[in-house]
Amino acid sequence: MIIENLICLYSNTVLDAMRIMNRNSKGICFIVSKDNTLIGTITDGDIRRSILDGVDLISRVDTIVSKNYIYAKVLDSLDVLYKMTSHKIRVIPIVDEDHKVVDYFEYTQSMHFPIATPSLNGNEFKYLSDAFFSTWISSQGEYLNKFEEGFSQYSDCKYGVAVSNGTVALHLALIALGIGQGDEVIIPDLTFAATINAVLHANATPIIVDIEEDSWCIDPIEIEESITNKTKAIIPVHIYGQVCDMKKIMTIAKRYNLKVIEDCAEAHGAMFNDKKVGSFGDIGCFSFYGNKIITTGEGGMCTTNNTELDRKMRVLRDHGMSKDKRYWHDVVGYNYRMTNLQAAIGLAQVERIEIIHENRRKYENSYKDILNSNAFIFQKDIENRQRITWLVSILIYEKTDREDYLSKLQERGIDARPFFYPLSDMDIYKQYCKKDTLVTSAISKSGINLPAYESLNNMKKIQYILNKHFNNA
């Protein structure tokens, strides 16, 4: 709601004020002079009472304006604003030092702060409209090429193969690398189920191992101890924006002649030794789901520096159809294609990705200013690993009941989430874990993800809620 939809000139009629209230649906308008100085407020109740008292609709509003109105000043704290509100007063004008209306505050008990919200403030609509009117709305069009080129270059890779989601990106990578029946693939216990599901869909055998205590990423020591003569690949997961120890992982992969598929679904733009994730292994796999750093709604991409793998993935993605002979199929392929419409949104998102990163990190820093460091441990910044802020990931100390804490946050509109469950805890996956994963278990039980997205408009409200109810957790 823009402030102009609440403004009514003192010389307007009562009927004009009613029309303004009808547009803003707030039941109130702010009465101002020609220079925007606040004179008073009028509510729908004021108008009803004035009509019952004989005032007609063409009377000027300044004849019925409330003289005892509530207003706030631009420097008033959120706590002060909340104290001004009541069950009767929910919308308050905010004035500057000259008493001119500059903003408003609205209190609602149903405030909701989702875990993630995509920001589409750049060229998304422009490019989407262009793709729409071009009639190339399916899996061909100029935005697909532009998005693949733009994102792969951003990720320090020569090639990018856009696909329909992050899960099929992992599956496509495994198939392109020849991973299948009888092969073992080492994965971390702390990850979203897509990682292990992709391995199972490729008919390979996942081997679940523990994570590092500091990074929450797959532990290279555990990787090496789990290698057998059947091991063919490693999938390091850059969890919650943090970066795996790619130097150690690539050394192990080279020593044992293993393929490396990086799961970068939550870490677009994160770096190890100033090199982007997705560019270390044979193939990097990204997700562009709605809650990711950049989004295409649904979507994903495989990045690589290998020309042959790029060619192979493109054939497999497009039904296995030959690039030289239309409708001729040399291999059994898949329909894993992204649409031109999705790519149009993705290209606009890539153009703004550094701004998105900057705003998300500001969000994280704001949480650090709010939350008691004696009750919470924030995700660590580790030497040589340049993590990014996806969600704000924290650990809560044992003295606090995490489930109770999460429940109270959600009651007050903050959509906080627990960390992923260990894969090894689930009946369908536990057979693939041969050793105890004590670090994963401890981290999973104490982890919380707090909302973080590009728009910072609601941070003051979150600060107020956390300070008032939760800072002594």
For residue 236, what is the domain's CATH number?
3.40.640.10
pLDDT (0 to 100) of residue 110: 56
Concerning whether 325 is annotated as a catalytic residue, the answer is: no
Do 185 and 306 belong together in one domain?
yes
Number of folded domains in the chain? 3
Q: Is the confidence at residue 394, as pLDDT, over 90? A: yes
Range of the domain at 307: 124-351
* Average pLDDT taken over every residue of the chain: 92
Do 160 and 139 belong together in one domain?
yes
What are the tokens at 270?
């994160």
* Residue 397: CATH number of its domain: 3.90.1150.10
Percent of the chain with pLDDT over 70: 96
Do 301 and 360 belong together in one domain?
no
Q: Residue by residue, what is the 3-state secondary structure of the chain? A: CCHHHHEEECCCEHHHHHHHHHHHCCCEEEEECCCCEEEEEEEHHHHHHHHHCCCCCCCEHHHCCECCCCCEECCCCHHHHHHHCCCCCCEEEEECCCCEEEEEEECCCCCCECCCCCCCCCCHHHHHHHHHHHCCCCCCCHHHHHHHHHHHHHCCCCEEEEECCHHHHHHHHHHHCCCCCCCEEEEECCCCHHHHHHHHHCCCEEEEECECCCCCCECHHHHHHCCCCCEEEECCECHHHCCCCHHHHHHHHHHHCCEEEEECCCCCCCEECCEECCCCCCEEEEECECCCCCCCECCEEEEECCHHHHHHHHHHHECCECCCCCCCECCCCCECCCCHHHHHHHHHHHHCHHHHHHHHHHHHHHHHHHCCCCCEEECCCCCCEECCCCCEEEEECCCCCHHHHHHHHHHCCECCEECCCCHHHCCCCHHHCCCCCHHHHHHHHHEEEECCCCCCCCHHHHHHHHHHHCCCC
Over residues 327-352, the mean pLDDT reads 96
Query: Which residues pair with residue 263 across a beta bridge?
Result: 237, 285
Do 90 and 167 belong together in one domain?
no
Which of 106, 140, 167 is at the close of a domain?
Answer: 106
pLDDT (0 to 100) of residue 469: 61
Which of 351, 386, 417 is at the close of a domain?
Answer: 351
Q: One of 232, 259, 276, 292 is an active-site residue; which one? A: 292
- Residue 27: partners with Cβ closer than 8 Å, 6 or more residues away: 21, 43, 44, 45, 91
Query: Which residues pair with residue 261 across a beta bridge?
Result: 283
pLDDT (0 to 100) of residue 111: 60
Each residue of 121-133: pLDDT tens digit? 899 999 999 999 9
Q: Is 116 domain-assigned?
A: no
Do 198 and 131 belong together in one domain?
yes
pLDDT (0 to 100) of residue 421: 98
Each residue of 197-253: pLDDT tens digit? 999 999 999 999 999 999 999 999 999 999 999 999 999 999 999 999 999 999 999
Q: Is 453 domain-assigned?
A: yes
pLDDT (0 to 100) of residue 332: 95
Q: Is the confidence at residue 277, as pLDDT, over 60? A: yes
pTM above 0.85, yes or no: no
Query: Which residues pair with residue 446 across a beta bridge?
Result: none
Do 325 and 403 belong together in one domain?
no
Q: Is 34 domain-assigned?
A: yes
* Cα gap 389→368, rounded to integer Å: 13
Contact (Cβ atoms closer than 8 angstroms) between residue 196 and residue 187: yes
Do 308 and 398 belong together in one domain?
no
Do 345 and 377 belong together in one domain?
no
Q: Is 117 domain-assigned?
A: no
Q: Is 118 domain-assigned?
A: no
Q: Is 113 domain-assigned?
A: no
Which of 281, 316, 351 is at the close of a domain?
Answer: 351
Over residues 146-161, the mean pLDDT reads 98
Q: Is the confidence at residue 470, as pLDDT, over 70? A: no
pLDDT (0 to 100) of residue 98: 93
Q: Is 200 domain-assigned?
A: yes
* Residue 55: CATH number of its domain: 3.10.580.10
- Residue 374's pLDDT band, with cuts at 50, 70 and 90, is confident
Do 91 and 133 belong together in one domain?
no
Do 242 and 336 belong together in one domain?
yes
Q: Is 157 domain-assigned?
A: yes
Do 63 and 143 belong together in one domain?
no
- Which residue, among 25, 24, 75, 69, has the nearest Cα to 46 in the 3D structure? 69
Do 413 and 423 belong together in one domain?
yes
